[in-house]
Amino acid sequence: MDWDYLRYVHALATGGTLSRAGEILGVHQTTVLRRLDQIEEQLGVQLFERNRDGLVMTVAGETAFKEADRLSHEMENLEQKLAGQSVRPEGKVRLATTDTLLNCLLNPVLSDLVAVYPGIQLELNTGNEVNSLSRRDVDLALHPSNQPPEAMVSRRVATIGSAIYSAVQYMDCNPDFDPKHPEAQAWVMPDDSFSHLATGARWYQKNLKESQPVIRCNSLYSMYSLIRAGSGVGVLPCYIGDADPELQRLSPPIKGEGIDLWLLTHPNLRQGARIRLVMEFLAEKLEGVRPLIECEREN
């Protein structure tokens, strides 16, 4: 029997539901269901009965789970032995993300990473991170999306919250900002090529249909720089705005504008020791700043 079959059986038996098994395996629950159907069809036996409450193992499923559990423990023991032979991981890890996430969120995390693991050689790519991952040009991606690619192994880090911000100096000169009449202000907004990806895109379309922006641009980091320089007001992720003392938040978190932040890797790369180590390190450090990412500070 293929070991991959047993991994899915083990996750399904342990999790008890398709969604929980997907979280354990790092894949979408539809992928788990499709794989289970393939396994049962190829083996010619039903491993799980499905009901409203989840999954119940059949006799055959219990047999498969016992074998999977035994092999899982053996694999963990082997990994521990091998890890003990290489205490200080070394080698190249290629990480892709956006320029905004790199400059406004990841920089201190990566500084900690190279300090703890000096043998790791980081290569950073701030281009088209998901396409690069699909082509195997990079090993890991930190990517904002509400529809992560199913083909990748994914781990959700947080949901990025957004709010309206301006420079403190802008508000000193324009103290009459009224969220109920936002069209009265000068706005820095995404242009048409970027609006479908931009933070706050739906809010812009709903609330600023008649407004004439002062500046449009195709980069979130450029929008941040312009707002910080006092060019106008705009919607920014809270991990940018709340962390910058030069900016002032002018609204509560905007409802319905959250974007999930994912760590992604290719299925064939996730077992690499260096890649797995870096992925876990990033996940742990980003968990520590989840309140900032999710805009939990009171306005």
CATH number at residue 168: 3.40.190.10
CA dist., res. 215 & res. 190, Å (int): 8
What pLDDT sits at residue 174? 79
CATH number, domain with residue 55: 1.10.10.10
Q: How many separate domains does the chain show?
A: 3
Domain co-membership, 212 together with 271: no
Judged on CB neighbours under 10 Å (0-12, 13-18, 19+), 268 is: exposed
Do the domain assignments include residue 297?
no
Do the domain assignments include residue 284?
yes
Do the domain assignments include residue 298?
no
Do the domain assignments include residue 256?
no
Domain co-membership, 143 together with 269: yes
Do the domain assignments include residue 254?
no
Q: What is the largest CA-CA distance in the chain?
A: 74
Low-confidence ranges of the chain (pLDDT < 50): none
Summarize pLDDT for 39-91 with one digit per residue, the tens.
Answer: 888 888 999 998 887 888 999 988 888 888 888 778 777 766 665 555 567 88
DSSP state for residue 253 in the 8-state scheme: P
Domain region containing 200 = 162-249
CB of 232 closer than 8 Å to CB of 185? yes
CA dist., res. 209 & res. 149, Å (int): 32
Summarize pLDDT for 121-139 with one digit per residue, the tens.
Answer: 999 988 655 555 556 678 8
Domain co-membership, 76 together with 98: no
What pLDDT sits at residue 281? 93
Domain co-membership, 174 together with 226: yes
Domain co-membership, 168 together with 144: no
Do the domain assignments include residue 131?
yes
Do the domain assignments include residue 118?
yes
Domain co-membership, 182 together with 224: yes
Do the domain assignments include residue 295?
no
End-to-end, the C-alpha distance of the chain in Å comes to 56
Domain co-membership, 170 together with 243: yes
Token pair listed for 223? 């929008």
Domain co-membership, 148 together with 214: no
